[in-house]
Amino acid sequence: MKKYLSYLLIFSVFISCDTEKEESKLSSYKEDYLTIEMVMLDMPDNVSDSASYVSDYINKWLRNNVIVNKAKLYIDENEESLVESVEQYKNNLLVYKYQKELIDNQFDTTVSKSDIQSYYDEYITDFVLHKDIVKARLIVLDKDALKKEEVEILISTDDNVSLNELMDICEMYAVNYFLNDSAWVYSSEFSQKLPITVKESNKILIRNNKTHVFTDDNFIYLLYVMNHQIKGSKSPLTFVFNNIRLLLQNKNKIKFTNDIEDKLYQEAISSGDIKIY
């Protein structure tokens, strides 16, 4: 429906000819024509300004045709190296699309936790922190907000009932809050939210199991640091878990496509399609 409306808009903006054949044309360069149908085939569904899109498309199409035409005057299209390059590009594109089709439909994206752990253990020296990280909670309240004292007590709780109570209070009264202290986060993500200098916050963010309270003209900041690790130390597995998973997934994709290539090659040998002279 959206593309149909876009079509109508293009039609009304760019077309003012009599015949159906002429109505389809948007622009031309010598004997080449750009039509509405050609533009519509390329137009994404999420285009918000169809007129601007078509105008840009026409401009690019014309400029491309001009430079290609000039290039043809100086370069022989049938030059052997050019033909070979085009053929190689076509073959590479075919292989890429075939591999993508196989991966989309047959490749198992699962990577086990044990594989991730094994990789982490084997290459532990590769996982060194480049920045300080912390597990912490941060709650920002208006200066006149209710429940301030209660929040200061509950922010360090490890009891699920109390933590749920703290969550409810934050949803009602907090200007901003972060309570997911099971996740490692770069220390800078907290320090930039505090009304103190980076140097001061760096000192505070290495004090485990401590609650800190800061104020500025408008807000109260409550920070609870549960744990920290400094730059240069070993990255916790949970901090690099997703990165390792993606790395192993990509390695598995390569092995998957290589195995298929090997299988097809062996089948071609067995069938006699391959002959080496």
Per-residue confidence (pLDDT) for residue 206, from 0 to 100: 87
What is the pLDDT of the chain when averaged over all its residues?
88
Give pLDDT tens digits for 261-273. Answer: 999 999 999 998 8
Domain edge (last residue) among 10, 41, 76? 76
Whether 126 has a pLDDT exceeding 50, the answer reads: yes
133 and 225 in one domain? yes
Give pLDDT tens digits for 4-25. Answer: 445 545 555 554 444 445 558 8
HEC sequence for the chain: CHHHHHHHHHHHHHCCCCCHHHHCEEEEECCEEEEHHHHHHHCCCCCCCHHHHHHHHHHHHHHHHHHHHHHHHHCCCCCHHHHHHHHHHHHHHHHHHHHHHHHHHHCCCCCCHHHHHHHHHHCHHHCECCCCEEEEEEEEEECCCCCHHHHHHHCCCCCHHHHHHHHHHHHHHEEEEECCCCCCEEHHHHHCCCCCCHHHHHHHCCCCCEEEEEECCCEEEEEEEEEEECCCCECCHHHHHHHHHHHHHHHHHHHHHHHHHHHHHHHHHHHCCCCCC
pTM of the model: 0.71
Per-residue confidence (pLDDT) for residue 62, from 0 to 100: 94
What total number of domains does the chain contain? 2
137 and 54 in one domain? no
198 and 135 in one domain? yes
Give pLDDT tens digits for 101-121. Answer: 999 999 999 999 999 999 999
Per-residue confidence (pLDDT) for residue 151, from 0 to 100: 92
Per-residue confidence (pLDDT) for residue 201, from 0 to 100: 87
Give pLDDT tens digits for 157-210. Answer: 988 899 999 999 999 999 999 999 889 999 999 999 999 888 888 888 888 888
213 and 135 in one domain? yes
Give pLDDT tens digits for 80-106. Answer: 888 999 999 999 999 999 999 999 999
Q: Is residue 272 part of a domain?
A: no
Say which residue, 176 or 75, is predicted with more confidence: 176
Residue 212: give the domain boundaries. 129-229
Per-residue confidence (pLDDT) for residue 4, from 0 to 100: 46
